[in-house]
Amino acid sequence: MPDDDPSLRYLPYHDPRRAAARHREMVRLQAETLARHQDNPAVQEWLRQFRDDGRGFLESYADSRASSLTAGRNQLEYEQRLDQELAREAKHRLREIQQRKLFAEQVRWRAGEATAADAHVHTAADFRHWGYKIKKCHWLPRITAEEVEDYLTYLASPYCADADPEAVQPDDFQDYDAFRRYLLLRGDDYDPAGVLRRRRPAPLAGEALWYPGWYAWCDQRDGPPNLVLARPNLRGFANGPDDDDAEEGDFSGLFRPALPPPPPPTPEPTGPAPLPWLGYAAYAGLTATLMREQETAELQRYHQACLPPPTEPEAPAVAEVERLLNNAGHEAGRRLTEIPERLPIAAAEDWREALHLTWLDHRKRCLATAIRAAFATYQARQPGH
């Protein structure tokens, strides 16, 4: 590349100078390849086994070589980046093993049991502090090979629903209140009425409840009684376990009789109706209206021909499902073409879902390999480092 060209590496992806610089680099590499091989006696000797002089072949070869030196380099960097992302995720997933150990310590500590956490924790909030610094939580037992094998079994199971890189992966693995409420709402052989007595509305308001898949798999492996629900929460409240005033929640009709509805609001004085927003959802109807009023019949027919066929009332939801399936299927298909080995296609009613499941199974296997490598590095490291 000429010295006055900006480096491709540091230009924004959509910068037109990037495409121009890449084109100049391709032309330079093609000319360099032709100059190198056209007058090479060994190449000319090799070409004599064919009918023509090989000029067309050499031009094609020059194109392929230039592409390999540009796009091929980018592809290699892309694959290396994928490997680095897998390695980072593998370390994160190893830490989930420690997070679950810490959460088990928290549950037992809240129940008043003697635990290793007693020397390191003074309030329930300290567990979330340790959860965010799990690498420095050296008072937990180190990860064992058996625990890693258990985690790999979980990884290959339906409990692991976050192996897709696009999946949301929360970073708070010590949110006892949210986890307990989630389990109570599921109501697996437990009385869900306790939800009302053990909930702080402020931290949980507006937040989606969840429970880590790794924790759920461990609960299934260990069997009843459930680690969280079988133990009382004696230390997790500001004024003791019966501090209901700080934890009252208004969940009318959920697990107790509904409160009377509030009085209707006083009607405001009437006036001219506000003008409606010109929202995106109204564009289609407004376009059709304007077409009828302003355009010729011929143009209206053209416009009608471009519209999708009429749909049922539930079509928006169906269309969204189709959009998600299309995105998942086509993206999985693209990724599968980058995998050199042949893979068995997963069973599914829709081919797009089958492609996505096939790619996801492959990624889980790659992730399992990365986790084993991360554990080998972890074992080689001295405790406390």
Please indicate, yes or no, whether residues 45 and 156 belong to a single structural domain of this protein.
no
Most confident of 232-246, 322-336, 366-380: 366-380
Please indicate, yes or no, whether residues 185 and 171 belong to a single structural domain of this protein.
yes
How many Å apart are CA 97 and CA 148, to the nearest integer? 8
Residues 6+ apart with CB under 8 A from 120: 126, 130, 139
Please indicate, yes or no, whether residues 90 and 47 belong to a single structural domain of this protein.
no
Q: What is the pLDDT of residue 2?
A: 43
Please indicate, yes or no, whether residues 100 and 217 belong to a single structural domain of this protein.
yes
How many Å apart are CA 298 and CA 45, to the nearest integer? 66
pLDDT digit string, tens, across residues 195-236: 344 444 444 444 567 889 999 999 999 988 888 988 999 987
Q: What is the pLDDT of residue 198?
A: 40
Please indicate, yes or no, whether residues 22 and 145 belong to a single structural domain of this protein.
no
pLDDT digit string, tens, across residues 4-15: 454 556 666 667
How many Å apart are CA 131 and CA 217, to the nearest integer? 19
Q: How confident is the model at residue 287 (pLDDT cuts 50, 70, 90)?
A: low
Residue with tokens 């929460």: 233
Please indicate, yes or no, whether residues 123 and 111 belong to a single structural domain of this protein.
yes
Q: What is the pLDDT of residue 20?
A: 82
Domain endpoint, select from 78, 103, 128: 78
Q: Is residue 236 within 8 Å of residue 103, measured between CB atoms?
A: no
Select from 239, 265, 243, 261 the least CA-distant residue to 252: 261
Could you give the count of Cα atoms lying within 13 Å of 337 in the half-sphere of its Cβ? 5
Distances (CA, A) of 100 to 92, 109, 211: 13, 14, 11
Q: Has residue 325 been placed in a domain?
A: no
Helices 73-110 and 176-186, packing angle to 10 deg: 80
Q: What is the pLDDT of residue 187?
A: 58
Please indicate, yes or no, whether residues 173 and 111 belong to a single structural domain of this protein.
yes
Select from 221, 130, 220, 234 the least CA-distant residue to 183: 220
Q: How confident is the model at residue 240 (pLDDT cuts 50, 70, 90)?
A: very low
pLDDT digit string, tens, across residues 156-206: 998 888 888 777 777 899 999 989 888 888 754 434 344 344 444 444 444
Please indicate, yes or no, whether residues 55 and 168 belong to a single structural domain of this protein.
no
Sign (positive or negative) of CA dihedral 101, 104, 110, 116: negative
Q: Has residue 165 been placed in a domain?
A: yes
Q: Has residue 345 been placed in a domain?
A: no
Q: What is the pLDDT of residue 192?
A: 38
DSSP-derived secondary structure for 219-243: HHHH-SSPTTTTS--SSSSTT-TT-
How many Å apart are CA 34 and CA 60, to the nearest integer? 10
Please indicate, yes or no, whether residues 41 and 12 belong to a single structural domain of this protein.
yes
- Alpha helices for the chain (secondary structure H): 16-38, 41-47, 55-67, 73-110, 125-132, 145-155, 176-186, 201-204, 213-222, 283-294, 297-306, 315-337, 351-380
Tell me which amino acid residue 254 is: L
Residue with tokens 């989930």: 96
26 is in which domain, residue-wise? 8-78
pLDDT digit string, tens, across residues 13-70: 667 777 788 788 889 888 988 888 888 888 888 877 777 777 788 888 888 777 777 7
pLDDT digit string, tens, across residues 326-369: 777 777 777 788 787 888 888 888 888 888 888 889 889 999 99
Please indicate, yes or no, whether residues 116 and 144 belong to a single structural domain of this protein.
yes
Domain endpoint, select from 78, 107, 122: 78
The pLDDT of residue 310 is above 80: no
Distances (CA, A) of 196 to 1, 236, 248: 68, 15, 7
Sign (positive or negative) of CA dihedral 214, 216, 221, 222: positive
Query: How many domains, the chain?
Result: 2
Q: Is residue 263 within 8 Å of residue 271, measured between CB atoms?
A: no
How many Å apart are CA 106 and CA 111, to the nearest integer? 9
pLDDT digit string, tens, across residues 94-146: 999 999 999 999 999 999 998 999 999 999 999 999 999 999 999 999 999 99
How many Å apart are CA 355 and CA 349, to the nearest integer? 11
Q: Is residue 25 within 8 Å of residue 1, measured between CB atoms?
A: yes
Please indicate, yes or no, whether residues 18 and 149 belong to a single structural domain of this protein.
no
Distances (CA, A) of 22 to 15, 75, 94, 114, 125: 11, 15, 41, 65, 54
Q: Has residue 38 been placed in a domain?
A: yes
Q: Has residue 54 been placed in a domain?
A: yes
Q: Has residue 346 been placed in a domain?
A: no
Q: Has residue 220 been placed in a domain?
A: yes
For 166, which DSSP code?
Answer: T
Select from 250, 124, 259 the least CA-distant residue to 196: 250
Please indicate, yes or no, whether residues 139 and 240 belong to a single structural domain of this protein.
yes
Q: How confident is the model at residue 254 (pLDDT cuts 50, 70, 90)?
A: very low
How many Å apart are CA 140 and CA 174, to the nearest integer? 15
Q: Is residue 328 within 8 Å of residue 363, measured between CB atoms?
A: no
Q: Has residue 57 been placed in a domain?
A: yes
Of 28-37, 81-90, 280-289, which range is least confident?
280-289
Is 0.85 topped by the overall pTM? no
Domain endpoint, select from 49, 78, 107: 78
